[in-house]
Structure 1
Amino acid sequence: MGNYKLKGKDLKQINYKSDRAKSLAIDIMQKDFKHLSKSEKLKLLENVLLTPKEYINHSSFSKLAEEFIGKTITEVGLKHELNEATKSFKVYGSKIITPETIDQMKVAMQLPISISGALMPDAHVGYGLPIGGVLATENAVIPYGIGLDIGCRMSLSIYDVPAEFIKKNSYHIKIALKENTHFGIGKTFKQMEDHEVLDRPEFHETALLKQLHGKAKNQLGSSGSGNHFVELGIVELKEHNQLNIPAGNYVGILAHSGSRGLGAAIASHYTQIAMKTCLLPKKAQHLAWLDLNTKAGQEYWLSMNLAGDYAKACHDVIHYKLAKFLGIKAIAKIENHHNFAWKEIHDGKELIVHRKGATPANKEQLGIIPANMIDPGYIVSGKGDSSSLFSASHGAGRKMSRKKAKESITGSELKKRLKQNNITTIGGSIDEAPMSYKNIEDVMLYQKDLVNIEGKFYPQIVRMDK
């Protein structure tokens, strides 16, 4: 809704700290960007915070940019040039990937720290690395090569319950989803959840993590906006699957979300440090890295891993609450990050492998690749393909920007598609319409060398942000 006036607490969620910055931001949005939705306003303001130099001459944001630049980190930055030659990288599904996305990956492969990379078939343009980009570096981590939603992940619980359970209990399931999930910026539960992750000693390791502990506690078990969801659906398993569960149909709960405000604040903080200490040409600025031998690099690595574990804890809480409400017990669970970095051995050398919107797919490693709110997603096991850096897509991938989706898809068109497919939705905006995504069957075809198909997940009742 475009007439929402931002408040200080909204800006606090995206790491705006000073009262002056908050005041400037609210005034600018009310004056020049009143037509944008709340989430669009916050995303734009977050970009100003992350890259203030890009807005220093902007007609609306110049004063806000000056506010941030006036408080830059005092460390002296080291200038780096890109390599003239682009290191080669494997592209899976080039026919369904835009040239702009491939060009963005080429820039990443020109970094002096880049060793190898790959582009998954769901790839599209993002910030820093393209979504669907996989990049291996040596002893360096790129905060924006992981993104703001550190540890964004999939989790699927499978229940030995007949598929008819969903149809027979649809009303009860909708109540369960409404009462036990929250979506969007700043959303919290009336009664705070508890989890051992909140007692982790890392929350006392840095000033930033100490500051973020309260936010992490408040948001535990909630989900973000955009394409994040919690779904009840039917799991269809093949014969002789890696889960060692008899073939057939089961009830499943599938969730997609990340580390909430904790991860976003960590990413914003360390991206600013990286961009002030690692000076790159303008087209590569978002790919600024932190050396893992530095204090900032070690802090980010510790914080990133904590955020990843926190994201898993959020999923654990969601699955636990829903299963308890519905009176069902899981017989299996599959889960995987797709916005993260790992230390892995490739060709006998330890590398930092960034997967921004990519699923780990080492040999026999299980994962989930969803499609959209209508079409079935895939349960997969990795084939351990080295040219993909043991990776696969993280979904169908967008073929249409959110703006274009809003301009070209009508609400009645979306409702018609949902009705035709017998899908019930709670929330879910036009920009998440299935028509704005690539065809999942095409995506799977282009990565047949990367994963085996173990089964499918058919959405039935979908909960998203409104």
Structure 2
Amino acid sequence: MNGKQITKLGFEKKAIGLAVAAAAVREGAGLERGAVLDELRAVQADPAAYLAGGVYAALAAELSAQHAVNESKKGAALLGAPLPYGVWGADLIEPGARAQMDVAMRLPVTRAGALMPDAHVGYGLPIGGVLATENAVIPYGVGVDIGCSMRLSVFPIQPDALKLEEARTLLLKHTRFGAGVAFEKRERDDHAVLHEGTWEDQPLLGHLFEKAAAQIGSSGSGNHFAEFGTLSLAQPDLGLDAGNYLALLSHSGSRGFGAQVAGHFTALAERLHPHLDPAARKLAWLSLDSEEGQAYWQAMNLAGRYALANHELIHARLARALGVDVLASVHNSHNLAWKQQVNGQELIVHRKGATPAASGQLGLIPGSMADPGFVVRGRGHADALASASHGAGRQLGRKAAASTLVKKEVAAYLKGRGVTLIGGGIDEAPQAYKRIEDVISRQSDLVDVVARFTPKVVRMDSGSQDI
């Protein structure tokens, strides 16, 4: 039997040679050509039935591999048009973010989505994007800083009782900021997250453990901060009476550990989807039925717990230094994926720069280094996938802010609001962000405002151009 006859059956490439070889063995054993052709058709129809062994095992393995590649190609095709999704604050959102969300809503695994009023362009999914997928997780749908989150602690101290110099001293002594920065070994705190057995479940996690242990309790660069300020409650809530309180607000993530987890699994997802439309390359996904998808899910959730642990240690150190107990606290992650019921179906809801806002759920939406932040309570809006914004959102990219903003004007803005800044680059200036009041007003159906936080002394990493 020759290759031309085999090709007529529909075999391709390497399978043709394997089919010819197997047919020769069967004909050599005395089988008639017609019977051999019938066997080849049977292998072609159900290669899995021949994988265990025998003359057709190699052909069956090749056909199975070809089938998997063909299915991958079919799965990589984007939908012809984006699925419909809700947009809040459309007048505040740049076209580039809308375009990115449109691509995300064309993924074959996408089932629902929403765009928050602080949205702006990111890698893959826009910042402020919420995306629900079926049985799939997208590493860049979560983001590079896995588990990036907020925490607020309220202290039994009047705001004006903490003087400026004392606040500066406390923040300088008990916080650390910047890429690769950590406390000295003798200064480090311990945390239960470092004693989880999860670190031993994957070689990658084991490799990154020392980095995570070294950086525990510290914060990154960019828009991460720790700040003292005034929390104002117009009416009793959070277990507190109405009034003004000294509070600490922090924004931090999973440091170098989370960033390397994100990079590793993003590259892996891209390799597994080589035929994905280039417009969606950074939205490559991992099936939760796969070993890779389960590994990412485990690593992502560990990074989320690690990020929250960093906040806990920051707040514990400062509460000890103040010599007080915390009266009330609020925290939430805003770069993570959750399993969530959507229209009666369990989906994977990615929030990349979006605050979980289920009915009654507390969350934190900060402004900028000189603008207020808000404690909010979610209203569980179904079309928003029970989400809200995670901040004010950028209106100027970092390069644009650094090249266009004037330091003197930024400094005047800070002074006019009575804010003292430690570190902080001009790329994080208030003028680089949307007005938080505008963002909050566009999502009144998503959250109710519980309290207002006004920053007074702010610590951040130093930028390329300090203010």
**Is the shorter-chain TM-score for this pair beyond 0.5, marking a shared fold?**
yes
Match for residue 278 of structure 2?
282
- 1:188-221 CA-to-partner distances (Å, cap 9, x unmatched) read 1112321111000110000000000100000000
Shift of 1:244: 3.0
What is the identity, as a one-letter code, of the residue corresponding to 2:288?
L
Q: Which residue is 1:184 aligned to?
A: 178
- Candidates 96, 100, 103, aligned match of 2:92: 96
1:218 and 2:214 are equivalent in the alignment = yes
1:363 aligns with 2:359: yes
Other structure's SS at 1:330 match:
coil
Asked whether the 8 Å contact 1:193–1:217 carries over to 2, the reply is no
Report whether the alignment pairs 1:195 with 2:191: yes
Kept after mapping to 2: 8 A contact 1:76/1:277? no
Match of 1:335 among 331, 334, 343: 331
Match of 2:243 in 1: 248
Distance, in Å, in 1 between the alignment partners of 2:425 and 2:325 is 31
Deviation at 1:328, TM superposition (A): 2.3
Contact kept in structure 2, 1:278 and 1:290, CA below 8 Å: no
How is 1:169-180 mapped onto 2 (pairs within 5 angstroms)? 169-180=163-174
For 2:435, the aligned partner's letter is N
The alpha carbon displacement at 1:145 in A equals: 0.4
1:266-290 deviation line (CA, Å, top 9, x unaligned): 1000001100002311110000000
What secondary structure is seen at the aligned counterpart in 1 of 2:340? Answer: strand
**2:368 pairs with one of 354, 368, 372:** 372
Deviations 1:147-182 (A, max 9, x none): 11000000000112111123xx22122111111111
Q: Aligned partners of 2:118, 2:111: CA distance in 1, in Å?
A: 22
1:18-77, CA deviations, whole angstroms, 9 ceiling, x for partnerless residues? xxxxxxxxxxxxxxxxxxxxxxxxxxxxxxxxxxxxxxxxxxxxxxxxxxxxxxxxx979
Alignment partners' CA distance in 1, 2:69 and 2:319: 52
* Secondary structure class of the residue paired with 2:78: coil
Measure, in 2, the Cα distance between the counterparts of 1:331 and 1:366: 16
SS across alignment from 2:327: strand
Mapped pair 1:408 → 2:404: yes
Q: Deviations over 1:306-353 (max 9, x none)?
A: 000000110001001111112222111100000000001111110000
Structure 1 residue 155 corresponds to structure 2 residue 151: yes
**In 2, Cα distance between equivalents of 1:165 and 1:140:** 51
One-letter amino acid matched to 1:421: R
Aligned with 2:394 (options 393, 398, 408): 398
Given candidates 443, 447, 464, the residue that maps to 2:439 is: 443
Could you tell me which residue of structure 2 aligns to residue 259 of structure 1? 254
Deviation at 1:261, TM superposition (A): 0.8
Alignment of 1:449-460 (within 5 A): 449-460=445-456
Report what 2:426 is aligned to: 430
RMSD: 1.2
Paired with 2:254 and 2:327, the residues of 1 have a C-alpha distance of 26
In structure 2, the gaps of 5 or more residues are 1-67, 463-467
- Tell me the secondary structure at the aligned position of residue 256 of structure 2: helix
Length-normalised TM-score, structure 2: 0.82
* d(CA) in 2 for partners of 1:165, 1:390: 38
**Unpaired runs of at least 5, structure 1:** 1-74
AA paired with 1:181?
Answer: T
Q: Does 1:273 pair with 2:262?
A: no
In structure 1, what is the Cα distance between the partners aligned to 2:441 and 2:166? Answer: 37
Q: When the two structures are aligned, how many residues end up with a matched partner?
A: 389
Superposed counterparts of 1:9-408, under 5 Å: 78-79=72-73, 80-166=76-162, 169-190=163-184, 191=186, 192-241=188-237, 243-279=238-274, 280-408=276-404
Opposite residue 238 of structure 1, the aligned amino acid is A
Mapped to 2, the partners of 1:331 and 1:240 lie a distance apart of 13
Q: Deviations over 1:94-138 (max 9, x none)?
A: 111011111110000000000000000000000010000000000
CA contact 1:115–1:136 (8 Å) conserved in 2: yes
Distance 2:233 2:380 in 1: 21
Question: Percent identity among equivalent residues?
Answer: 50
1-structure distance, mates of 2:258, 2:333: 13
Moved more, 172-181 or 247-256: 172-181
The 8 Å contact of residues 369 and 378 in structure 1, kept in 2 or not, is answered as yes
**TM-score of the two chains, using structure 1 as the length reference:** 0.82
Deviation for aligned residue 1:240: 4.0
| 2:317 partner SS | helix
Tell me the residue number matched to 2:3: none
Q: Which amino acid aligns with 2:156?
A: D
Distance 2:69 2:404 in 1: 47
